[in-house]
Amino acid sequence: MIVFDHVSKVYSPTSTAVEDVTFRIESKEFISIVGHSGAGKSTLLKLLLAEDTPSEGKVFFEDVDVHAIPKADLAVLRRKIGTVFQDFKLLPSKTAFENVAFAMEAAGATDEDIETDVPQVLELVGLIDKAHHFPHELSGGEKQRVSIARAIVNRPDVIIADEPTGNLDPVNTYEIIELLKKINSFDTTVIVATHNKDIVNGLERRVITLEGGKITRDAKKGKYIL
């Protein structure tokens, strides 16, 4: 489903984010990409979203080279990939409902579908009672739930989460990971970039370990080992 083929990203001669990375992700997998800060986790996710271009190699999503897609058509790719960010990236002038609805509106959904689906996903993430709150009226954990709701509302094939619990306390962290596991149980591929040891060890799923931009380990039921 997703293939990184000998991908490198060099920002400058002294700054290499990822180096000759090759791996494949199958549909319905739950993968953790682990590594210290600066190991290249976020860069890999940015390359998949075509937010950044590789210096070498190719990234394929459903057999399509994502960096060969014209910029104007990237919207279609990004609707197939739901994204959850460490800093939530919610639209500050929109309520929780509107933030989630925006992703559907952008995809051209009808008003009727939006009216049905948005409350459903907000219910799923446990935020239906705060649907009309603005982001500044929500806690960190609640903002991340809105972010997850927005990521899944278009029923994407893949969810990528870049340090989704980086700004959260242990209770919220646990709940967010449970939510991601639940999403994966609906056959959605989930890719989580994290440096949280407890999360990775608790999951007992595939773990790709990055060190200095290179893959040092790729284990089916991996642990956080650095």
Partner 1 sequence: MMIYFKRIFKIGIINFWRNRWITLATVMVMVLMLFVTGSLVFSSVLLSSSIDRIEKKVDISVYFTTHAAEKDIVALQDELNKFPQVESVEYISREQALENFKLRHTNNALITQSLEELGENPLGASLNVQAQNPEQYESIAKFLGASSYSGVIDKINYFQNKLVIERLSNILVSARAIGWGAALVLAGIVVLVAFNTIRMAIFTSREEIHIMRLVGAENNYIRGPFVIVGVLYGIVSAVITMVFFYPLTLWLGPKAEGFFGGPNLFHYFIGNFFQIFLLLLAVGVALGAISSIIAVRKHLTI
Is residue 32 a contact partner of residue 195, using CB atoms and an 8 Å limit?
Answer: no
Is residue 179 a contact partner of residue 171, using CB atoms and an 8 Å limit?
Answer: no
Query: Does residue 68 touch partner 1 according to CB under 8 A?
Result: no
Q: Which of 102, 119, 140, 201 binds partner 1 (CB under 8 A)?
A: 102
- Distance (Å) of CA 14 to CA 9, 10, 11, 17, 141: 12, 8, 8, 10, 37
Q: How many residues bind partner 1 (CB under 8 A)?
A: 26
What does the DSSP 8-state code read for residue 145? H
Closest separation in Å from C-beta 107 to partner 1 = 6
User: Which of 37, 93 has the CB closer to partner 1?
Assistant: 93
Cα–Cα dist 45/195, whole Å: 15
Instruction: Please choose, out of 27-35, 97-105, 191-199, 210-218, the segment that lies near partner 1 by the rule CB under 8 A.
Output: 97-105
Would you report the helix, strand and coil content of the chain in percent, each value rounded to 5? 40, 25, 35
Closest separation in Å from C-beta 83 to partner 1 = 6
Site residues for partner 1, window 118-177 (CB under 8 A)?
150, 154
Q: Which of 12, 14, 37, 93 binds partner 1 (CB under 8 A)?
A: 93
User: Which of 45, 124 has the CB closer to partner 1?
Assistant: 45
3-state secondary structure of 71: helix
State whether the Cα torsion 86-177-129-122 is positive or negative: positive
Q: Which of 28, 58, 67, 79 binds partner 1 (CB under 8 A)?
A: 79
Site residues for partner 1, window 173-212 (CB under 8 A)?
none
Q: At what angle do helices 111-124 and 140-152 cross, to 10 degrees?
A: 130
Closest separation in Å from C-beta 225 to partner 1 = 32
Residues that bind partner 1 (CB under 8 A): 49, 51, 71-72, 74-79, 83, 89-93, 102-103, 105-108, 110-111, 150, 154
